[in-house]
A and B are shown apart, each in its own frame.
Chain A
Amino acid sequence: MNSDKKMIFQKTSKNTFLFENIDSEKTINEILGNDIINENIPDFPDVPENEVVRHYLKLSQLNFSVDNGFYPLGSCTMKYNPKINERVAVNPGFLNTHPYFDEKHTQGNLELMYELGEYLKDITGMDAVTLQPVAGAHGEMTGLHIIRKYHEKKGNTHKNIIIMPDSAHGTNPASAALAGFKVVEIPSDEHGCIDIEKLEKVVDENTAGFMVTNPNTLGLYDRNIMKISEIFHKVDAVLYYDGANLNAIMGKVKPGDMGFDIVHMNLHKTFSTPHGGGGPGSGPVTVKKRLAEYLPVPVVEKKEHNYFLNFDKPDSIGRIHSYYGNFQVLVKAYSYIRMLGREGLKKSSEMAVLNANFMAARLKEHYYLPYDRICMHEFVLSAKKIKKDTGVSAMDIAKRLLDYGYHAPTMYFPLIVEEALMIEPTETETVENLEKFCDVLIKIKQECYDNHELLHQAPVSTPIRRTDDVKAARQPKFNFFNDFNND
C-alpha cells in the first residue's frame, strides 16, 4: 500500500484505550487458565486515539455521500437525511433500553412503534403491521413466508409459483426462492407495463402470488393494476407490493386500494433514514386483515393505556430477527413522518415526480428515452445509440459524471433496457441542482462524440481510477492477515 493510504494494521504504537489499569494478561490467565484461553490472541494493531480518529476521518473523505452532493441513484431514493432524525435517535432514554426490559421500562419505545405502525398502515392502506424486518429483502422474505403460510393453512400446498415482471429487482426472485417458491417472470409490454395477455396465460391454480413494484423499475405507473389484481385474486393468489418505489405515491394512492395484500417499505428510502454505506435499513411489512395472523412474533399491541409485545400468535410465521427490528431506524422514520405530516408526505411525492419529469423532459432531446410518457419518481434513459455511434457505454457516461462531482445513476438496470441509466432525483433537490445536472449530462454526450477516449478513461479526478474487478474476483484478497502475510 502507498504510505499515504496505510491500513490501520500498518500503524503501531503502545498507546491504547484502557478501561482499567490492571495487568490484563495476568488477570485473564488467573481467571480462565491455559486450557481455555487462546495462546495466540488476535494481533490487532495498537494505535493511539488521535491516529485512529485521523485514519477514519481521512477515509470518510474518500466517500461521496448525500451530504456531499446530488446522488441520483435510481430506485435507491437518496433523499436528504434530516439531521434532527439523528439527534432524536440517540436520546439515552432510547439507547439504553435493553430488549428484555420489563414493559414498565419500554413504554416509550412501544408507544413509538405502535404509532409508527399505525402511520405505515395508513400510508399503505393495510390493516396490520410488523416492524421486525431490517431491510427491504428481509421484508420480502417475511411477506413470502406469509404467502406460504396462508396457502398452507388453506390446504393449497400445490400453490408453489410466484410470478413477477422481468423488470423486477434481483432480491424479488432471490427472496421467493428462499421461501421455497418457483419463480416465473413475465415480459413487459411496449408501454413498459405488465403484458396482460401473457399474464392471463401463465396465471393458474398453482400461482401462489405476484410480486411487483408500482411504479415499476422503469418509473412507470401500471394503469392496469386493478385488472391485474383481479386476475390474481380470482385464483386466490396473494398480491405483494415491493415498496422500493413508494416515494412516488405517498399520500397519492394506497397500495391497499390498488388491490395489494402485502406491502414492504424501505424506511431508508422513502422515510429519509440514512443508508449508512449499505445499512442499517428497515423494511416493515403491512398486510390486509386476512393475513394478520401470520405476521412474525412479537407484535406491538395496546391495552387501555399500556403497550405490550404479544408473543401469543399460534399461526405466526415465527421470528425473523433476534429482537424487534432496527429500533433506532424506526425512531428516525417516526420523526420524519411527524415533521412532514400528512400534507408534507403527499407533497414530497408530488415534488419527487415533478422533478423526475422535469429532468426527463430536458434530457430526452439528447438521450434516448425508451418509454416516452409521463414518469413517476424516476426514469430510465438508454445510451444504446451513443454506444453504437461512438463506442461509449452507459458505464463510461456514469463514470464521467463522477468527474463532474455527481454520483452515478443506477446502470444496466432494469435489465430490459439496453445501456440503461436510471435517474431518480428525489424531492429534496433545488431546481438549480437539477438543471446543472442535466447540463452536465448533455455536455458529456457531446464529449462522447468529440473525445470518446476521454470517456473510456473516466473518471480521472476521483481518489482512485477504474478498478480491476476481474483481478479482485480471480485473485481474491479480503483479509489483511492473509493478504499481507509476508509484509
Chain B
Amino acid sequence: MHFFPHLPENEIKILKELNVQNINELFSDISSQNINPELKIPEGMSELEVDRLLSSKALKNNISNVLSFAGAGIYPHYVPSVIDEISGRGEYYTAYTPYQPEVSQGTLQTIYEFQSYICALTGLDVANASMYDGATALAEACLLALANKKGKKIILSAGVHPEYKKVIQTYLSCTDAEIEEVGLNEHGTTDISKLKTILDKDTAAVVISNPNFFGNIENEYNEFLNLKNEFGFIFIGSVNPVAQFVLKNSKHYGFDVVTGEGQPLGMYQSFGGPCLGFFAASSKYARKMPGRIVGLTTDADGKDCFVLTLQAREQHIRRDKATSNICSNQALCASRATMYMSLLGKTGMQNLAAVNLKKSRRLLSILEKYGFKKVFSAEFFNEFTVSHNQAEDIYNKLLQKDIVLGVKLSDFHGGSYNDKLLVCCTENFLDEDFERLEKSLKEVIK
C-alpha cells in the first residue's frame, strides 16, 4: 500500500518536461558511493495486512482482562465518546500549527478556550497552548525561574514525581543551577521547618506538587505564602487538574507558575504518551513564558478573532535568545482537554471530583479490611499510599489474576519502600470491579 498517486505515464511526462532521463538524475548531487543503499525494512503490506499485524501486536499486551489501580501520573479515567468523535475530525488533526489565522480559527479559538480553562483552574492570569508533558512543563518552569531570578538554587519537595525530578535534572544539567531537595514530614507533606532552614536569598524557586507523588494534599498554603513573601522566590506548583478543580489554587498558595499533566482531561493512558503538559503563570511572566500563546484581537473588518501572539519570545524570532526551544507542542491533546472540560462543565467537573473522592475511599476501606494501612495522615484526592507486610507478595499474586494493585513504591524509592504501594481509584471503576478485587484479595491473603 502506498500514497503516491502518479501513473507511470505521469512520471515519464514530468521527467521529460524536466529534461532528465530517469529519477536518479534528480539525485545526482548525492555521491555515487552513497546513493540507493540497501534497506533491511520488510517489503510493503496491504492496509488489511497492517490492520491485522497491529491488532496482533496489541493482543500481545494481553490486557483485555486487566483491572488496574495504577496511577502515579497517568490515570485510568473514562474518556467520553464526544472527545474521540470531535477531535477525530480531519480538520482538527490534519492541520498544522495555526500560522495562517485566516484559515485556522478552529484550532486557535479552541486553544484560547483551553488557556482560559487552565487559567480558571490554576487561578493564574496566562496559560500557554501546551507543553510536552507534566515533567517538561515543570522543568521549563524551573528554567523560567533561573532566567528571572539572580539566585541559582532550586528547591524541590521530595513529594515531586521522581521521574519529573529526573527530567528537571537533565534540563538543568547545562546551567549552573543547584538542585536541593526538602524532605517530607510524618504526615507525608513537605517539611516546612526543614524548608525554612535551606531557604536563602540565593533561592530562585521552590517546587511542590499538589497532591504530591504519594497522593497527599499539601495543605499548608498559608505557610508557603508567608515564606514566599519573606524570601521572594518564584513559587512553582505541579498539580493534578482534576484535583485542582476543587482544591485551593494559586490565589491561596501564591504560586507564580503552575504546571501539570493534563492526561486526566480526556487522554487515554496509552503507555504514557501522548501526554499534555500545561503551563500557567502570573501576568508579570507572560512575556517570559515558553511555548505558543493564542491571543484575542480583531481582523481588518473589526471582527473578533484569534492569533498566535507574543512571538518575540519564541525560537523562530529570537533564535538562541528564545525563552525556550519548544516549537511543536501537544495541541490536539489540549483540544481534547478543552472539549472534555466543556462537556463536563462546572457541574460535571464537580461531580467527577466527588466520585473520585468517594470511590477512592471505597478502595481504601476494602484494602483496610485485608490488613493494608494508609501510611500518611494527610488527606488525599484519588490516590494514596498503603503498606502491608506482605505487600510485594500480594501484589505479585494479584498480578497473576490480572489485577494491578497500583505501583510498587520500591521501584521508585528503593528498599525502604518494599512494603508500600501507591494506588488510585477514579470514576472509571464500577461495583463489579470492587467485587472482583475483594474476591481476589480474599483468595490471595489467607
Which residues from 84 to 112 on chain B have a C-beta closer than 8 Å to any C-beta of chain A? 84-86, 88-107, 109-112
Question: Does A367 sit at the interface, judged by CB under 8 A?
Answer: no
Given contacts A176-B320, A462-B103, contact A279 B134 (CB under 8 A): no
**Residue from the list A344, A471, A481 in contact with B298, Cβ < 8 A:** A471
B50 touches A335 (CB 8 A): yes
Which residues from 73 to 119 on chain A have a C-beta closer than 8 Å to any C-beta of chain B? 73, 76, 78-82, 84, 86-88, 90-102, 104-109, 111-112, 118-119
> Which of B7-15, B150-158, B195-203 participates in binding chain A?
B7-15
Q: B309: which A residues are within 8 A, CB to CB?
A: 469, 472-473, 476, 478
Given contacts A36-B219, A429-B5, 19 further A-B pairs with CB under 8 A are: A8-B342, A28-B357, A41-B245, A46-B348, A66-B94, A87-B51, A93-B57, A107-B62, A118-B40, A220-B29, A275-B93, A277-B331, A278-B97, A318-B166, A354-B6, A464-B305, A465-B303, A467-B300, A478-B293
Identify the 3 closest CB pairs spanning chains A and B, nearest first: A323-B272, A93-B58, A341-B44
CA distance A49 to B342 in the complex (A): 9
Given contacts A61-B91, A223-B29, A473-B295, contact A342 B326 (CB under 8 A): no
CA distance A423 to B150 in the complex (A): 45
The residue on B at minimum CB distance from A24 is B354
CA distance A466 to B343 in the complex (A): 32
**Residue from the list A36, A40, A137, A472 in contact with B217, Cβ < 8 A:** A36
**Residue from the list A81, A102, A112 in contact with B57, Cβ < 8 A:** A112
A86 touches B88 (CB 8 A): yes
Q: Using an 8 Å CB-CB cutoff, how does the interface string of A210-245 with B read, 1 for contact, 0 for none?
A: 000000000011110010000000000000000000
Q: Using an 8 Å CB-CB cutoff, how does the interface string of B373-407 with A read, 1 for contact, 0 for none?
A: 00000010000000000000000000100001001
Shortest C-beta distance, A298 to chain B (Å), equals 11
Shortest C-beta distance, A144 to chain B (Å), equals 8
Shortest C-beta distance, A297 to chain B (Å), equals 8
Q: B39: which A residues are within 8 A, CB to CB?
A: 122-123, 251, 342, 345-346
> Which of A50-58, A380-388, A442-450 participates in binding chain B?
A50-58
B358 touches A277 (CB 8 A): no
Given contacts A466-B299, A469-B297, contact A36 B247 (CB under 8 A): yes
The residue on A at minimum CB distance from B78 is A19
Which residues from 396 to 445 on chain A have a C-beta closer than 8 Å to any C-beta of chain B? 398-399, 402, 407-408, 413, 427-431
B29 touches A27 (CB 8 A): no
Which residues from 1 to 58 on chain A have a C-beta closer than 8 Å to any C-beta of chain B? 1-2, 5, 7-9, 14, 16-20, 22-25, 27-28, 31-33, 35-38, 40-47, 49, 52-53, 55-57
Which residues from 316 to 340 on chain A have a C-beta closer than 8 Å to any C-beta of chain B? 317-329, 331, 334-335, 337-340
Q: Which of A55, A279, A462 has the most CB of B within 10 A?
A: A279
Shortest C-beta distance, A135 to chain B (Å), equals 4
**Residue from the list B45, B103, B248 in contact with A64, Cβ < 8 A:** B103
Given contacts A99-B272, A429-B5, contact A94 B58 (CB under 8 A): yes
A63 touches B91 (CB 8 A): yes
Shortest C-beta distance, A346 to chain B (Å), equals 7
Given contacts A60-B86, A100-B407, A351-B6, contact A17 B80 (CB under 8 A): yes
The residue on A at minimum CB distance from B335 is A277
Question: Does A158 sit at the interface, judged by CB under 8 A?
Answer: no
Q: Which of B55, B61, B76 has the most CB of A within 10 A?
A: B61
A323 touches B273 (CB 8 A): yes
B354 touches A60 (CB 8 A): no
Q: Which of A106, A321, A337 has the most CB of B within 10 A?
A: A321
Question: Does B194 sit at the interface, judged by CB under 8 A?
Answer: no
B45 touches A339 (CB 8 A): yes
Question: Does A59 sit at the interface, judged by CB under 8 A?
Answer: yes
A465 touches B61 (CB 8 A): no
B348 touches A18 (CB 8 A): yes
Question: Does B261 sit at the interface, judged by CB under 8 A?
Answer: yes
Given contacts A64-B100, A254-B34, A329-B273, contact A52 B14 (CB under 8 A): no
A173 touches B320 (CB 8 A): yes
Shortest C-beta distance, B162 to chain A (Å), equals 10
Can you spell out 25 A-B residue pairs with CB atoms less than 8 angstroms apart? A36-B248, A42-B117, A44-B120, A46-B345, A56-B342, A60-B86, A62-B104, A63-B107, A84-B51, A170-B314, A173-B315, A249-B30, A253-B30, A254-B34, A275-B97, A279-B330, A335-B50, A339-B44, A343-B43, A353-B23, A466-B299, A472-B309, A478-B115, A478-B116, A478-B126
B68 touches A101 (CB 8 A): yes
**Residue from the list B3, B103, B135 in contact with A463, Cβ < 8 A:** B103
Question: Does B414 sit at the interface, judged by CB under 8 A?
Answer: no
Q: A480: which B residues are within 8 A, CB to CB?
A: 112-113, 116
Question: Does B66 sit at the interface, judged by CB under 8 A?
Answer: yes
Q: B217: which A residues are within 8 A, CB to CB?
A: 32, 36
> Which of A178-186, A198-206, A284-292 participates in binding chain B?
A178-186
The residue on A at minimum CB distance from B79 is A95
Shortest C-beta distance, A464 to chain B (Å), equals 4
Question: Does A348 sit at the interface, judged by CB under 8 A?
Answer: yes
CA distance A342 to B40 in the complex (A): 7
Which residues from 454 to 483 on chain A have a C-beta closer than 8 Å to any C-beta of chain B? 457, 459, 462-469, 471-473, 476-483
B175 touches A107 (CB 8 A): no
CA distance A470 to B374 in the complex (A): 56
A279 touches B332 (CB 8 A): yes
CA distance A96 to B50 in the complex (A): 21
**Residue from the list A24, A98, A251 in contact with B76, Cβ < 8 A:** A98
Which residues from 333 to 355 on chain B have a C-beta closer than 8 Å to any C-beta of chain A? 333, 335, 338-339, 341-355
Shortest C-beta distance, A108 to chain B (Å), equals 3
CA distance A337 to B99 in the complex (A): 29
The residue on A at minimum CB distance from B72 is A100
Given contacts A16-B344, A24-B351, A478-B296, contact A317 B44 (CB under 8 A): no
Q: A28: which B residues are within 8 A, CB to CB?
A: 246, 350, 353-354, 357
Shortest C-beta distance, A278 to chain B (Å), equals 3
CA distance A86 to B90 in the complex (A): 11
Q: B268: which A residues are within 8 A, CB to CB?
A: 95-96, 328
B355 touches A20 (CB 8 A): yes
Question: Does A174 sit at the interface, judged by CB under 8 A?
Answer: yes
